């Protein structure tokens, strides 16, 4: 049985990816920052599949080398999903950028040293936004300019971490060449396996259905379902054609937050606001609101990514955006009851 190291297994994507690996006959070693939480993680994965002894854990930190060598031992592949994420703009951008880059470099370095064949890296569509401050048609070779005006720390962290990964691959020495595939999701929706509503997607939906989001930002991009992301991560491990490519895993068309709100409202969520705030007002408010500050470059724009290559290479069709959103709200309501 082939073994896969999953960094960041406790996260929204990490839990789904671990379950998908187990369903497809892989053995999983998941990294966490603290081993005390592993019992609840196993229970979360058991909602999808019984691990049957094929799930273990290790403790890793993106900012130091301790445990990385041991974590890689016996692993055939790595899903490097762990990366810091906060929607609000931090006071120091290096709070996000440093661990994102260093964690990526550690994952690649120790994987190569251990003889791992391939790493699948979780990046983001925000690493493909050009100068971000204008609408854009995104292709596989589109990159975000981290020095563009109003660029948020999170966008910089994802862009610079992915760039550092490709640089590692291009400059590696020796005959034992590590392979890399990068997954670039859009905003992620779909049911959570965790018992918590701590993720950004869950919070947005919770605030929308409880009427705590009176105003929406006018921005549209391709949206992703967590189940699609997990599925493509697993398919990317051994797909020969995937090596050396970036894949947008998202809907074929961009959707706005207003369209999302309309779906929620049409399905009985009466407290949802469909009002789009004026661009100038939201940009002005971003000076005082750390959540909005991170959104500032995107307000008023549409980012439309070509997902045809992903669909072709993996023989895949995205889950519909409506299903993603309705399954998310069902998951949120279930957690609010508990």
- How far is C-alpha 104 from the chain's CA centre? 14
| Domains of the chain listed by start with CATH number | 3-196+222-250+305-319 (3.40.50.720)
Angle between helices 38-46 and 12-23 (to 10 degrees): 60
| pLDDT higher than threshold 80 for residue 85 | no
| pLDDT higher than threshold 80 for residue 168 | yes
| Distance, CA of 274 to CA of 294 (rounded, Å) | 21
CB count in 10 Å sphere of residue 60: 25
Half-sphere exposure of 320 (CA within 13 A, CB side): 4
Residue in the structure block whose two tokens are 């950004």: 200
| pLDDT higher than threshold 80 for residue 289 | no
| pLDDT higher than threshold 80 for residue 309 | yes
| pLDDT higher than threshold 70 for residue 284 | no
Q: Using alpha carbons, list the distances in angstroms from residue 269 to 152, 262, 265, 273, 275.
A: 32, 9, 5, 10, 15
pLDDT at res. 205: 93
| Distance, CA of 23 to CA of 14 (rounded, Å) | 14
pLDDT at res. 269: 96
Answer for the pair 264, 209: CB distance below 8 angstroms, yes or no. yes
| Distance, CA of 151 to CA of 129 (rounded, Å) | 10
pLDDT at res. 145: 95
pLDDT at res. 288: 54
Answer for the pair 24, 234: CB distance below 8 angstroms, yes or no. yes
Answer for the pair 107, 69: CB distance below 8 angstroms, yes or no. no
Q: What's the whole-number mean pLDDT along residues 1-12? A: 96
pTM value? 0.94
Sheet holding 136-138, edge to edge: 136-138, 302-305, 220-222, 254-256
| pLDDT higher than threshold 60 for residue 50 | yes
pLDDT at res. 46: 97
Q: How does pLDDT run across 240-258, given as a tens digit for each residue? A: 999 999 999 999 999 999 9
| pLDDT higher than threshold 70 for residue 207 | yes
| Distance, CA of 323 to CA of 315 (rounded, Å) | 20
| Distance, CA of 275 to CA of 150 (rounded, Å) | 24
Q: Using alpha carbons, list the distances in angstroms from residue 216 to 48, 122, 154, 224, 299.
A: 34, 27, 20, 19, 10
Q: What's the whole-number mean pLDDT along residues 153-171? A: 96
| pLDDT higher than threshold 90 for residue 83 | no
Answer for the pair 31, 9: CB distance below 8 angstroms, yes or no. yes
DSSP string, 224-259: EEHHHHHHHHHHTTT-GGGTT-EEEES-SSEEEHHH
| pLDDT higher than threshold 80 for residue 267 | yes
pLDDT at res. 285: 63
pLDDT classification of 87: cutoffs 50, 70, 90: low
Q: What's the whole-number mean pLDDT along residues 202-224? A: 92
pLDDT at res. 201: 84
**Tokens for 176?**
């034992």
| pLDDT higher than threshold 90 for residue 272 | yes
| pLDDT higher than threshold 90 for residue 170 | yes
| pLDDT higher than threshold 90 for residue 264 | yes
pLDDT at res. 92: 86
Longest dimension (CA), the chain: 61
Q: What's the whole-number mean pLDDT along residues 25-35? A: 96
Between residues 197 and 316, the one the model is more confident about:
316
Percent of the chain's residues with pLDDT above 90: 78
Q: Using alpha carbons, list the distances in angstroms from residue 327 to 14, 97, 106, 191, 202.
A: 18, 32, 35, 6, 11
Q: What's the whole-number mean pLDDT along residues 161-189? A: 95
Determine the Cα angle at 143 with ends 139 and 145, to 5°. 145
């Amino acid at each position: 049985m082939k073994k896969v190291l999953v960094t960041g297994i406790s996260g929204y994507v990490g839990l789904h990816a671990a379950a998908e690996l187990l369903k497809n006959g892989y053995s999983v070693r998941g990294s966490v920052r603290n081993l005390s939480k592993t019992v609840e993680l196993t229970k979360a994965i058991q909602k999808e599949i019984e691990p049957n002894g094929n799930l273990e854990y290790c403790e890793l930190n993106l900012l130091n080398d301790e445990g990385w060598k041991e974590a890689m031992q016996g692993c055939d592949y790595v899903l490097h999903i762990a990366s810091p994420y906060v929607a609000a703009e931090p006071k120091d951008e290096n709070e996000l950028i440093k661990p994102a880059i260093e964690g990526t470099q550690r994952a690649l370095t120790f994987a190569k040293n251990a003889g791992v064949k391939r790493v699948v890296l979780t990046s983001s569509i925000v690493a493909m936004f050009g100068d971000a401050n204008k609408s854009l048609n995104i292709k596989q070779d589109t990159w975000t300019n981290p020095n563009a005006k109003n660029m948020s720390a999170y966008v910089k962290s994802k862009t610079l971490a992915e760039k550092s990964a490709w640089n590692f691959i291009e400059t590696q020495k020796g005959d034992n060449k590590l392979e890399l595939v990068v997954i670039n999701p859009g905003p992620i929706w779909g049911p959570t396996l965790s018992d918590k509503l701590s993720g950004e997607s869950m919070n947005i939906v919770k605030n929308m259905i409880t009427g705590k989001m009176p105003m929406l930002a006018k921005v549209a991009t391709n949206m992703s379902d967590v189940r699609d992301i997990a599925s493509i991560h697993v398919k990317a491990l051994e797909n020969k054609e995937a090596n050396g490519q970036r894949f947008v895993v998202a809907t074929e068309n961009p959707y706005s937050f207003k369209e999302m709100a309309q779906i929620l409202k049409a399905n009985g969520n009466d407290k949802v606001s469909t009002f789009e705030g004026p661009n100038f007002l939201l940009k002005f408010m971003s000076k005082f609101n750390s959540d909005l500050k991170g959104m500032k470059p995107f307000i008023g724009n549409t980012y439309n990514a070509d997902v045809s290559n992903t669909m072709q290479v993996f023989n895949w069709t995205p889950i519909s955006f409506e299903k993603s959103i309705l399954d998310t709200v069902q998951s949120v309501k279930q957690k609010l009851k508990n």
